[in-house]
Structure 1
Amino acid sequence: MKQYNVIIIGGGAAGFFAAINIAELNPDLKIAILEKGKEGLQKVKVSGGGRCNVTHAQFIPKELTLNYPRGERELLGPFHQFMTGDTIEWFEKRGVELKIEEDGRMFPVTNSSQTIIDCFLSETIRLGVEILYDQTLKSIQVADSNWELETQEDAFLAEKVLVATGSNVKVWKMLEDVNHSIAEPVPSLFTFNVSDRRIKGIPGVVAQNVEIKVLRTNLVSEGPLLVTHVGFSAPAILKLSAFGALELAEMNYKFQIEINFIRHSFNTCLEQLKELKNDLAKKTVIKFTQFDLPKRLWQKLVLASNINEDIKWAEINRSQLDALAAQLTKAVFEVNGKSTFKEEFVTAGGVNLREVNFKTFESKLHKNLYFAGEVLNIDAITGGFNFQNAWTGAFIAAQNMSK
């Protein structure tokens, strides 16, 4: 049986970050990362389209917490200990400079996730952290004041263990065996499947600033909306999918959404359309795009309002004006199913937050058992927030595990 002071289960973002920080704080400790794959940091590799969305330029702890549908309350204290500015400084000290994009997302200036991976791997080598690959965990048990871990390859004994396995159902089951309770996992961060003639044939079109409601719920979001081959995506949709993860799962992903494409009320829109009817009397409605909408989307919404391609503004009747105002401000679409958002799948669910001490990220049920990252019932909207949760939890756990 191999013996270590610290074993980290999971060679992802949180696992590596914790190992490096523990080793730096206490070089005398014997530390190993157990990773089930042939290589680690797979999610880091694919994040942000291969660029790695390290964090988000939000520097006020309270405001940062608002991006977490699950974990908002619990992360407030931890973010006062370690958050965005600390993340930037941590990477810069190790030669990795980050940049802020217009939407607040932060990436390495190299635009490559390999920069982050290389940083982690070189730090583990420098600090003498062992990384053991092809180690699929089979059991985790308390043995006196130590932890016994069994993988398909080996058996290990550790004084302290950090579980950083992300959304891994098998590991959650093992944690249930040591009396932790698990919030049932459901998908978060997914796109909506919609089949509708108003968006048929226009994939790639982006409406920059829409408001979307899920009908018969309190779910509302706003932001850019992307038309895809199978329906809708982009931040406005992803935000709804994260905050509505549990409700939308209960509906079996079949529901209606109402989209306000121009963020005006129906009445305000109607008045503006009446003015256009006068001002552009001789112009063809379909040819002169209004409200800063993409041209192809405008044309689809005009046709859906029973206004044919030849009609001029002067010829529009009242019912057509009403129909166009409705399409622009309260267009209803049927959602029938979901699709995974790229490779960046995120799951709502995990270790019950009431069973964790968020001053240390240690289990309240077992001494010397710690958690970091998405193994906990914490998840965020897209934009670097899930990684920030991983860095924060791993850093705070490391402070305590290194003692």
Structure 2
Amino acid sequence: MNSKYDIIIIGGGAAGFFTAINLVEKNPKLKVAILERGKSVLEKVRISGGGRCNVTHACFVPNDLVKFYPRGERELKGPFHQFCSGDTIEWFEKHGVELKIEEDGRMFPISDSSQTIIDCFLNATQKLKIDVLTGHSVQELYQGENYWKISTNQDVFSCQKVIMTTGSNPKIWELLQSLGHSIVPPVPSLFTFNIKDVRIKDLMGVATNAAVKVKNSKLNATGPLLITHWGMSGPGILRLSAWGARELAEKKYHFAIQVNWIPEYSFDEIVEELKTIKEENAKKLVTKYAQFNLPKRLWESLTKAATISEETKWADVNKKQLHFLAEQLTNGEFQVNGKSTFKEEFVTAGGIDLREVNFKTMESKILPNLYFAGEILNIDAITGGFNFQNAWTDGFIAANAIASIE
């Protein structure tokens, strides 16, 4: 049996649905189908942002927005001028979903439920008569003179144009490689650091702002750091893991980091501050009162690491201990041995080589009438709604380009 369509979208995730809806809204004559290998669609949308769906980020200037993408920064500049975060907000509002901005800039539906986004997409595809076909795993892709043939485990389809929105799917990458595309090998991007260290052993749940640097490397990031059962997490660490995805993979996730728990101070400045504190608090116990707004448990642990006992008063701290403490506060070295995936926000660096894609249309430069959107490309971002924004922008541009040709 051969099912005929104008456009077939492979992949029933965020990018796939957004592209399909925009296509048919722009050109209602198009017959469009979404093929999804799983039993259900939009699974990543469902679990994203802890089930709340972090739709986008309140960063409205394209040249600023691109800075959140370790891979794709240069290529996304043009696309973001076409469709940016502000356009995303407007699009969802038009489709009955109002978004809200949280303190850190992340944007969620006001319902605080990813189901709102899923329902919005499912209702739109139904209304626009877009066929959503689940349980269809693509086995083969064949390009004829002006048509594509797609064989799945259930059926054979033909269409004029194909849009690939399969995310980080190695099988599809292999298929595209066999058709002439280059694939940048995938490595994990957002991950936390596994660290066993007596200084953080019983501090799980402690969070503070810190500057983290990978030793003997240019990689560094500043942001909230969270101590966990297995080591360190939080936005600062995740940012570092995103920017360092390739470099840290080459190190096989074994490397040292240097942590400055008080990023606004250098070692020398802290030494001076500590001298002042010592003079002003001579009779007070060092470990008892945390300084520099540090969490109390962290302060206690770092003073202990600087060989200062619980009974020691500031007056009794010697020069060596003072320097030890300054070192622990501004340049503590921790050994990372391995990584853990960050919740469900699993993001991969790697995918279709960006040099092989025309970012004015999202069309392949290798295979005419083949388009891409979302994480199938070698584009990824730090956490905060940026990966979804890439999916919306790519999908919008591909839909625009195709709808105006047809």
- Across the aligned residues of Structure 1 and Structure 2, the Cα RMSD in angstroms comes to 0.6
d(CA) in 2 for partners of 1:141 and 1:70? 30
Partner of 2:351: 350
How far apart are residue 366 of structure 1 and its match? 1.6
For residues 290-329 of structure 1, the aligned pairs below 5 Å read: 290-329=291-330
CA-to-aligned-CA distance 1:93-135 (integer Å, 9 cap, x gap): 1110000111100000110000000000000001000000001
d(CA) in 1 for partners of 2:400 and 2:262? 49
CA-to-aligned-CA distance 1:174-211 (integer Å, 9 cap, x gap): 0011101100101100000000001001111001x211
SS state at 1:173 partner:
helix
d(CA) in 2 for partners of 1:192 and 1:296? 20
d(CA) in 1 for partners of 2:140 and 2:184? 20
d(CA) in 1 for partners of 2:280 and 2:62? 49
CA-to-aligned-CA distance 1:138-171 (integer Å, 9 cap, x gap): 1111022111111111111011110000000000
SS state at 1:24 partner:
helix
For residues 2-41 of structure 1, the aligned pairs below 5 Å read: 2-41=3-42
CA-to-aligned-CA distance 1:245-280 (integer Å, 9 cap, x gap): 000000000000000000111110011111111111
For residues 102-113 of structure 1, the aligned pairs below 5 Å read: 102-113=103-114
Pairing 1:222–2:232 present: no
Partner of 1:383: 384
d(CA) in 1 for partners of 2:298 and 2:51? 30
d(CA) in 1 for partners of 2:317 and 2:367? 71
Partner of 1:281: 282
Partner of 1:77: 78
Amino acid at match of 2:28: P
SS state at 2:76 partner:
helix
Amino acid at match of 1:266: F
Pairing 1:119–2:120 present: yes
How far apart are residue 361 of structure 1 and its match? 0.2
Partner of 2:269: 268
Amino acid at match of 2:302: L
Amino acid at match of 2:25: E
- Moved beyond 3 Å, runs of 4+: none
d(CA) in 2 for partners of 1:216 and 1:280? 38
Amino acid at match of 2:32: I
d(CA) in 1 for partners of 2:43 and 2:167? 12
d(CA) in 1 for partners of 2:358 and 2:145? 22
d(CA) in 2 for partners of 1:338 and 1:34? 34
Amino acid at match of 1:128: K
Partner of 1:42: 43
How far apart are residue 400 of structure 1 and its match? 1.4
Identity of aligned residues (%): 60
Aligned residues: 402
d(CA) in 1 for partners of 2:105 and 2:63? 16
SS state at 2:312 partner:
coil
**Could you state the TM-score of these two structures normalised by the residue count of structure 2?**
0.98
Partner of 1:401: 402
Pairing 1:60–2:61 present: yes
Q: Which runs of 5+ in 1 are unaligned?
A: none
Partner of 2:363: 362
CA-to-aligned-CA distance 1:287-323 (integer Å, 9 cap, x gap): 1000011111111101100001110111111111000
CA-to-aligned-CA distance 1:26-70 (integer Å, 9 cap, x gap): 111110000011111111111110000000000110110001111
d(CA) in 1 for partners of 2:110 and 2:121? 16
SS state at 1:285 partner:
coil
Pairing 1:241–2:233 present: no
d(CA) in 2 for partners of 1:141 and 1:337? 41
SS state at 1:393 partner:
helix
SS state at 1:32 partner:
strand
Partner of 1:150: 151
Amino acid at match of 2:90: E
d(CA) in 1 for partners of 2:317 and 2:268? 17
Pairing 1:255–2:255 present: yes
d(CA) in 1 for partners of 2:334 and 2:401? 50
How far apart are residue 12 of structure 1 and its match? 0.3
d(CA) in 1 for partners of 2:61 and 2:401? 24
Partner of 1:339: 340
Pairing 1:166–2:167 present: yes
**Could you state the TM-score of these two structures normalised by the residue count of structure 1?**
0.99
Amino acid at match of 1:300: S
